[in-house]
A = this chain, B = another copy of it.
């Protein structure tokens, strides 16, 4: 390890020299330089614990500016906790949460929402392109109204969705309308919220509270932090005593500054947005290149994920060349996720390999 490799100021180019062929998820990427710089700054001096340091309030204030409203912000370690705690604060154990059947809270959090809420049921609905529809919510709310089934209380939306699409402003407002009719609160799983903002070219305020979102879980981890999600309550009343909830649930960091200072690295100079734009651009490049090769894309690649329909032999061929990715969406579906440090070289290298493997397989 050279002295230079010890420096925190690594550039994307440096990393690419030795970058492995990871497109499995945006969480295989590391800490972006601006976040790392703040991590190191926050380490220069001792500071008070539990968020009473000089960084945490600054980060919270930055969020308030970004969202153009006096919201309440809490910082927790990861996405399962962020979503689960937010949902638990919006409903009781005998209520239910309506989400898409592909939502992360349903498919990949090992029952976290049920655990933190002490039993709230997730009611899943179908919907094209991974999106919950007003009709789906309406149907789920109205099919039963007896006390033998948990009463729907929350709609959870993932923005961008698990399949790389985004809810438009109009779609969000239509969902808010049906939610209002049935007294439902809206939670937004923003694991890739930055990518949605970048894709839609709208302000964070416009696609959250101005469109009726009550609580947003904004992921820092997938945007370039080591750890850290911000839970943002746009209605402060809903956040009552939420700091106790975090503490009890093992989500209050004692050395909080190492989570919140890096957030400043993302928030200052709109690094979060640049990171997301870059990731989205890489996904677009990948989707376009794949289309040129005649490969079918399963969902519109609106954010930073691309889902390709590939023959089994092709999938195997790519894996043999060292590419890592998931195939969990249906038969032959390959998910490729771009991130803040995905390089054009990596994408082009994948496209080159794809072309070769397809050719080898006689296509």
Q: Which residues of A contact B (CB under 8 A)?
A: 1, 5-10, 14-15, 18-20, 22, 24-25, 27-31, 36-37, 39-50, 76-82, 84-85, 92-96, 107-112, 114-121, 147-151, 221, 226-227, 241, 243-245, 247-255, 258-259, 324, 341
Is the beta-carbon distance between A248 and B9 smaller than 8 angstroms?
no
- CB of B43 within 8 A of CB of A18, answer no
Q: A78-B253, A79-B254 are contacts. A147–B6 as well, Cβ < 8 Å?
A: no
Residues of B within 8 A of A29 (CB): 46
Assembly CA distance A14 to B28 (angstroms): 33
* CB-defined A-B contacts under 8 Å, sample of 12: A6-B8, A20-B47, A30-B47, A79-B254, A93-B111, A110-B248, A111-B119, A111-B121, A115-B119, A115-B248, A227-B259, A249-B249
Q: Are A94 and B151 in contact (CB under 8 A)?
A: no
- The secondary-structure label for the interface of chain A is loop
Q: Are B43 and A36 in contact (CB under 8 A)?
A: yes
> Which residue on chain B has the smallest CB distance to residue A324?
B48
Say yes or no: B250 contacts A80, CB within 8 Å: yes
Specify how many copies of this chain sit in the oligomer. Answer: 4
Q: Which residues of B contact A28 (CB under 8 A)?
A: 46-49
A115 to B150, CA, bound (A): 11
In the docked arrangement, what's the CA distance between A85 and B94, Å? Answer: 12
A43 to chain B, nearest CB (A): 4
Say yes or no: B250 contacts A112, CB within 8 Å: yes
Q: Is the CB of B77 within 8 A of A96?
A: no
The answer to whether B49 and A244 have CB atoms under 8 Å apart is: no
Is the Cβ of B116 less than 8 Å from the Cβ of A120? no
A80's contact among B31, B247, B255, by CB below 8 Å, is which? B247
For A43, the chain B residues whose CB sits under 8 A away are: 8, 10, 30-31, 36, 226
Q: Which residues of B contact A20 (CB under 8 A)?
A: 45-47
The answer on a CB contact under 8 Å between B119 and A114 is yes
A47 to B43 alpha-carbon distance, docked (Å): 24
Chain B residue numbers with a CB within 8 Å of A250 are: 76-78, 80-82, 84-85, 112, 116, 249-251
Q: Smallest Cβ distance from A274 to chain B, in angstroms?
A: 19
Residues on B with C-beta less than 8 A from A14 are 44
CB distance from A329 to the nearest CB of B (A): 13
**CA gap between A39 and B6 in the complex, in Å:** 9
* Chain B residue contacts of A18, Cβ below 8 A: 44-45
Cα distance A254–B6 in the bound complex, in angstroms: 23
A5: chain B residues within 8 A (beta carbon): 40-41, 44
The answer to whether B150 and A110 have CB atoms under 8 Å apart is yes
Q: Within the complex, what minimum Cβ distance (angstroms) separates A178 from chain B?
A: 20
Q: How many angstroms from the CA of A86 to the CA of B312 in the assembled complex?
A: 42
- Pair B221/A255 contact, Cβ less than 8 Å: yes
Q: Which residue in chain B gives the minimum CB-CB distance to A114?
A: B119
Indicate whether A46 sits within 8 Å of B22 (C-beta atoms), given known contacts A248-B111, A254-B221.
yes
Nearest Cβ in chain B — how far from A313, in angstroms? 23
Residues of B within 8 A of A77 (CB): 77-78, 227, 250-251, 253
Distance to closest chain B CB from A97 (angstroms): 11
Contacts of A10 in B (CB 8 A): 43-44
Assess the A118–B115 pair: CB atoms within 8 A: yes
When chains A and B are docked, how far (Å) is the Cα of A223 from the Cα of B183?
40
Decide: A114 and B120 in contact? CB cutoff 8 A.
Answer: yes
Q: Report Cα–Cα, A150/B248, bound state, in Å.
A: 8
Bound Cα distance from A147 to B244, whole angstroms: 5
